Amino acid sequence: MSSGAAPDLRRRRLLRALAAAPTLGATARPSPAAEAAAATAAPAATRPIELVEVARGLEHPWSLAFLSDGRMLVTERPGRLRIVMPDGRLSAPLPGVPRVQASGQGGLLDVALGPGFARDRTVFLSFSEPGAVGARTAVARAEFVDGAAPVLRDAHVIFGQKDRTGGGNHFGSRLVFARDGTLFVTLGDRYSERDRAQTLDNHYGKIVRIRADGSVPPDNPFVNRAGALPEIHSYGHRNVQGAALHPVTGQLWTHEHGPQGGDEVNIESAGANYGWPVITFGREYVTGLRIGEGTERADVTPPLWQWTPSIAPSGMAFCTSDRYPGWRGSLFVGSLKFRLLSRLELDGDRIVREERLLGDLGERVRDVRQGPDGLLYLLTDEADGRLLRLAPTG
């Protein structure tokens, strides 16, 4: 699960990469290089691709998972789980979904199939779980019972943030299974609790690693540290809404929102501190002043890439197919703010270039996934949200 490089070694590598990299975006830079090193963003090249509408009529869809027969499970933030048929028809909402607090950014969020889904039909959902004094990010496990009227059976919470907080912001909430079967859960700082992202006695601004039954793996980095919650795998995050395993290394890559600036792409490493809100490129919303004490510190893992101003990233997928010429190995990130798709070109564990695609889409991109057919699929976060397929035409 570790990135395999100490923070200062990673920093030296990234600085060397900056010197060798092609011209980069004024809104997207490798870090921790100085801000003055950035130049102009690479415009999108003309590509033989088109957007194909697979389905519409989804209310603020958040995530999707592919079934083996061409159907897809899609979550809607108000609290519904639907099946999208290959021809685009939507099922009725599946019974058995846990009750959610659908307020602000909260609601029914990520969906992931368990590693043994073909055998046990286990599905995992993340959601904002209501309580007497606010909500918390929680993860439920359930059995997907297929048939003429599909249903979720025996949905029960296997993990929940230690504390509940008022307000409707920063639930994080991506679910990613590692190759060893453990589950990564990304947790936001809930906005009002940002300072607690730096302490280990809470789940705010953390990525946790649990087993599929909710128990704690014994090799988690803080298992034996007094005062630390044993589920924590890394800390100092703001609001991670994109996460995916690197197809070659198996490492967890993530991205997170910064305020106004400082959206980050990171390689997640066991026990690492990612800085928020002490070390960040972000600025306060009202005053525009810098947050924290700077953008670098020896004990903080620097981002591979950062966007200033923020693009509001959401969704993340590696392209491992040859369906799009020249895109194999690229990392794709959706943008809520600019309503586009960002393609990040990689050289090993370095990001060397950004290409911005679908700038005329006009819809917030909430999720990005590669399907079993090797094609990329997008969800748009709208009241009349769509499921789109990026189809090559050449």
Q: Which of 42, 43, 48 is nearest to 390 (CA)?
A: 48
Find out whether 262 and 333 touch, Cβ atoms under 8 Å. no
Q: Please give the C-alpha separations between residue 52 and each of 45, 311, 374, 389, in angstroms, as whole numbers.
A: 19, 24, 15, 5
- State which amino acid sits at residue 82: R
Element (H, E) at 155: strand 151-160
Strand, coil or helix: 380: strand
What does the block give as tokens for 256? Answer: 């997170």
How far is it, in rounded angstroms, from Cα 334 to Cα 315?
Answer: 6
Q: Please name the residues in contact with 34: beta carbons below 8 A apart, sequence gap of 6 or more.
A: none
Give me the DSSP letters along 39-58.
--PBPPPP-SEEEEEEEEEE
The CB density around residue 101, as the number of other CB atoms within 10 Å, is 19
What does the block give as tokens for 308? Answer: 């200033």
How far is it, in rounded angstroms, from Cα 310 to Cα 307?
Answer: 5
Q: Which of 352, 232, 236 is nearest to 302 (CA)?
A: 236
- Torsion angle of the four alpha carbons 303, 304, 308, 310, in this order, in degrees rounded to the nearest 10: -80
How far is it, in rounded angstroms, from Cα 103 to Cα 67?
Answer: 29
Given the residues 170, 203, 237, 255, the one annotated as active site: 170
Q: Please count the CA atoms within 13 angstroms of the CA of 233 that sit on its side-chain side.
A: 25
Find out whether 202 and 222 touch, Cβ atoms under 8 Å. no
DSSP 93: P
How far is it, in rounded angstroms, from Cα 51 to Cα 61?
Answer: 18
The CB density around residue 191, as the number of other CB atoms within 10 Å, is 18
What is the separation, in whole angstroms, between the first and last Cα of the chain?
38
Told to judge if 156 belongs to the known catalytic residues of this protein, a careful annotator would answer no
How far is it, in rounded angstroms, from Cα 364 to Cα 384?
Answer: 11
User: Which active-site residues does the annotation give?
Assistant: 170
